[in-house]
Structure 1
């Protein structure tokens, strides 16, 4: 049985006092986490934004890290404290403080502790407050008690808990103030009756320093398989993926149409194209300084953005997914669902909530087909091209326009996406950097 613990000597725990114990172990542990954005930059300061005891031996923290560079960030942690940690939690150890109120105790990531995870679900089942934290739920949704939790494996920029194969709770690790699109968008689509997107059943947020989404509970589609896995299975078996790609295009168009109804369209902006092109060029220039392999292509890639700057307001911008790829879609039987509307976590949340061109989502999915084709050796570019064409054809069958008729605009958004991928891979998965670099070489030639 897990022996929970509290700070020694009966001293009231304040944020500064807590950091005398935890500061050192967190400075060592945080940079090793995939969701930590300050990799490669020394942490110059840690401060506590908020601290709440969820139950004895479990602290909920929002921690701000400051760095010598520009990538300061706020992170959500659930820390367990124990005198004697059982073997099944050894992988979750954060550290053993050598001083301060937690001296001699073991600090660990409590999201891996079934007891803490079950108590967190109970908080969501029974709405209320805990310090600055607020727990809410859809009154029409049935959430049974006692569901067994497990942490979902796989590479994620957040942490997800699956409860009894019935629900999945996404805990946002890197926190930006405001409502998260992964709550806002599925909730709005549920009111529109869009069955392509699982509706939120419960969520929690903090009231301090201002209302900010911390986690969302949704139905878990246990019979579904993500599109990335299905694509790789098709490649491994030498099978075409065009039928699935066509249906995925139809599903994307359905979601876009529902989003256009759920949210007011963006107002026409005669100067919006110029600002967007300037932002793309700025991202390209900044990335080239951090990814030297990109530098030889900069001048040719900038030319791809000319069509964005010259774009005449016509079809209104609208809310979109914002980070659409094969890992963000699930297929059960012959039906696709779309998940994870958080957008690109590295971008400001205000930007992720802004109305944008639907072609950006389409470009993201086209890049994903290219990624899949590179993941299996030998590289199969013809496989990717067939998938890309089928996806666009499926989209056109449900929508009022065909993405293939806007080739120059699509290329501009693919270029912007490939630049984002190059920076991401350079920071997190250097072995994958050749994949976006191959696309950048192709796009620089105007293909």
Structure 2
């Protein structure tokens, strides 16, 4: 990210002089940590290399946020970016990079026992307990203090939006149940999202909310502060490491509300219509704030070919997809034919992973037509490369993601034998589309080929995810696969 990019222009105009940070010798640290991390990393939910052999582990950068030395009685705090190879070491760097925040103590209090990574057996940290620092309110609080003061610390740099109020001394609480990242809530004021798997380039979860805040879009919380790391010895963009945003205390996400509606058999369509309107408003703000384009011909056909490739690779992993492959391929063939006939698609920056869990409402009845929906988590699908997640796409892709989410919630109830779930899905999908069109967005049904292709692509993504992480849930997206394959076959 260059000095002229959005996150840096939003930084406070008078940053203090860079602080000096103690830089531990990476090779020495690795002696203490390699064995521990080799066993610990693959067990983490956010580790992306599951199912692949863990090759060489290397330290990309290391910064002591608090000194880690045997003479100390207070905990040390070590920030690491490590590269986890996916096989034997090669001449060129390979593998994913992960952000780690490790606490160092001579003895670990009982309350921090579940956070233990291990006790170092050699190197400069020999004999010390190494643990996940985010579980330690004292060390998590130090991160908040750093975010309150823009500047540099070793390879790390901290930025803050002009005018952002960040109180000090807020109690830190690590949220549980995270999947690809970690989040810490400070009091009831802010939430810090830390990206675990990182790569050079500004993360959309920082870039897009900053752009929307500048455009005056109130549907998305504005970032208060962030931090990033410079890539040592390279000219690449810095890595976005974390974003501090307002915490919407008392909010409930759309997924919980949808599950409640299904269980209680209540009418959710007014909320679905309001959510469609909110989605269209965010799309309009993104289109006004950032460049747009149009895809046609081979560029549009390339989207269909990419989806087809993902389907073929998924079939190799999940055998249950094989009977439906021909039907699913027809959805992509229809999109390719649309492109060949001169069809076009407006493209712009998107949310990229829109579903009911990415929207919140904080006050008023959730089933009201004016439900105050807020959209969060603009990171996109974390499994995709960062460069792909920053590419513009058709707005109907976000629409398809939300439509899949309504259907997914209903299918969960269908597989349990609950009646009326299919009707609930159809009604709320229609209400969401109507709300989107009413707020100025193009009617999604006017782009049927795109909509069906993106819904199908999302369903394949869900099948792969469940097969890898929650095999018992696989019947849920497979219900959609069967329906989508039949819809494509019917034309």
The answer to whether the superposition gives a TM-score over 0.5 is yes
Counterpart for residue 355 of structure 2: 325
Counterpart for residue 284 of structure 1: 311
Deviation at 1:400, TM superposition (A): 4.3
1:383 matched to 2:424: yes
Superposition CA RMSD, Å? 1.7
1:163 matched to 2:163: no
**Are the aligned partners of 2:300 and 2:344 in contact in 1 as well (CA < 8 Å)?**
no
In structure 2, how many angstroms separate the alpha carbons of the residues matched to 1:430 and 1:94? 27
- Choose the corresponding residue for 1:90, options 113, 128, 149: 113
- Choose the corresponding residue for 1:73, options 89, 93, 96: 96
Counterpart for residue 4 of structure 1: none
In structure 1, how many angstroms separate the alpha carbons of the residues matched to 2:215 and 2:162? 18
What CA deviation, in whole Å up to 9, does each residue of 1:185-221 have, x standing for no partner? 0000001110000000100011124311110001011
In structure 2, how many angstroms separate the alpha carbons of the residues matched to 1:223 and 1:398? 27
1:178 matched to 2:198: no
Counterpart for residue 25 of structure 1: 36
1:36 matched to 2:73: no
Deviation at 1:267, TM superposition (A): 4.4
In structure 2, how many angstroms separate the alpha carbons of the residues matched to 1:133 and 1:336? 34
Counterpart for residue 20 of structure 2: none
TM-score by length of 2: 0.86
1:401 matched to 2:424: no
3-state DSSP of counterpart to 1:177? coil
In structure 2, how many angstroms separate the alpha carbons of the residues matched to 1:374 and 1:28? 37
In structure 1, how many angstroms separate the alpha carbons of the residues matched to 2:138 and 2:162? 25
What CA deviation, in whole Å up to 9, does each residue of 1:104-154 have, x standing for no partner? 211101011111111100000011111110001012111111011101122
In structure 2, how many angstroms separate the alpha carbons of the residues matched to 1:255 and 1:155? 25
Counterpart for residue 395 of structure 2: 358
**Are the aligned partners of 1:37 and 1:71 in contact in 2 as well (CA < 8 Å)?**
no
TM-score by length of 1: 0.94
What CA deviation, in whole Å up to 9, does each residue of 1:151-208 have, x standing for no partner? 1122331000111111011000010210000000000000111000000010001112
- Choose the corresponding residue for 1:242, options 255, 269, 282: 269
* Deviates further, 424-433 or 66-75: 66-75
Which runs of 5 or more residues in structure 2 are unaligned? Answer: 1-22, 68-75, 364-370
Counterpart for residue 244 of structure 2: 217
1:257 matched to 2:284: yes
Counterpart for residue 46 of structure 1: 57
**Are the aligned partners of 2:304 and 2:453 in contact in 1 as well (CA < 8 Å)?**
no
- Choose the corresponding residue for 1:299, options 326, 330, 349: 326
Deviation at 1:266, TM superposition (A): 1.9
